[in-house]
Amino acid sequence: MGSSADFHPAICTLSQYFYCICVDLPGHGQTPIDDHNFVSTAEQILAIAPDNCYLLGYSLGGRLALYLALHYPDRWPKVILESASFGLPTAQMRQERQCQDQAIARKLRQPDLDFAAFLHNWYQQPVFTGIEAHPNFSELMVSRSHNNPLSLARSLETMGLGQQPYLGELLKTNTIPLLILVGEQDPKFVEIGRQMLSLCQQSALKVAPNCSHNIHFQRLDLWLKTLLEWI
């Protein structure tokens, strides 16, 4: 539901140390959805990324970053995964998730959609516990409203978790350092993070206190400190 603009506050600090490239994923921000799917999107990110750069992804971006880390390990010295999943292990689980995402996509395509109400309901999900209490939440909602609901619908159908290849087996053979960031108030992804840690010896798990899924929004100071120390 976001865009590259979400990371502009972080780049104010990161740009003191790094040259930062921020990407609008297909269906978000200024990137049209076209014929993208999960794998082709990852390959397009690979095509624009310089060699030997640190790679960071949040949520959908984190899933893409993990795919790139495991398929192209020579391109990244370190990879940071914020609230990211390594996929669903069975075809049945992936099919069930596709059905769930299709139901959400149908809502986004309704001609009389109240997009503001949709976004409000979206942030009622348990993974976003506590985000509405943030003093800048209203600004976040305004930025989210700039996205196109039809493009978001297509993104869910083509790049949702049910469309992602399962990456658990590849995690076992990973050789590059992975930082797994999860929010303390997001128990679903805390558990996913622990599973990833158990599969991959080259990973570190950091649980951020007093925040849920969107750590870089809720605790930017802690997010920056954790990243810079780890890199």
Residue 169 exposure: Cα atoms within 13 Å on the Cβ side: 4
- pLDDT given for residue 110 in this prediction: 96
DSSP secondary structure string for all residues of 79-102: EEEES-----SSHHHHHHHHHHHH
Could you tell me the pLDDT band of residue 189, with boundaries at 50, 70 and 90? very high
**What are the structural domains, with CATH classification, of the chain?**
4-230 (3.40.50.1820)
Q: Please, are residues 34 and 57 in contact by the beta-carbon 8 Å criterion?
A: no
Question: What is the Cα–Cα distance from 6 to 21, expressed in whole angstroms?
Answer: 13
CA distance 117 to 176: 42
Q: Is the pLDDT of residue 73 over 90?
A: yes
The token duo for 123 is 């942030």
The pLDDT mean for the chain works out to 96
Give the tens place of pLDDT for each residue, 109-161.
999 999 999 999 999 999 999 999 999 999 999 999 999 999 999 999 999 99
Which residues does residue 80 pair with via DSSP β-bridges, in sequence order?
A: 56, 179
| pLDDT for the residue 8 | 94
Measure the CA angle with vertex 30, ends 1 and 48; round to 5°.
100
pLDDT score of 34: 85
- pLDDT band with cut points at 50, 70 and 90 for residue 36: confident
Average pLDDT over residues 204-231: 97
Contacts of 168 (CB under 8 A, 6+ apart): 86, 87, 89, 199
By CB atoms closer than 10 A (0-12, 13-18, 19+), residue 199 is middle
Using one digit for the tens of pLDDT, what is the confidence trace for 77-107? 999 999 999 999 999 999 999 999 999 999 9
**Confidence band of 24 (pLDDT split at 50, 70, 90):** very high
Q: 57 pairs with which residues across the strands?
A: 81
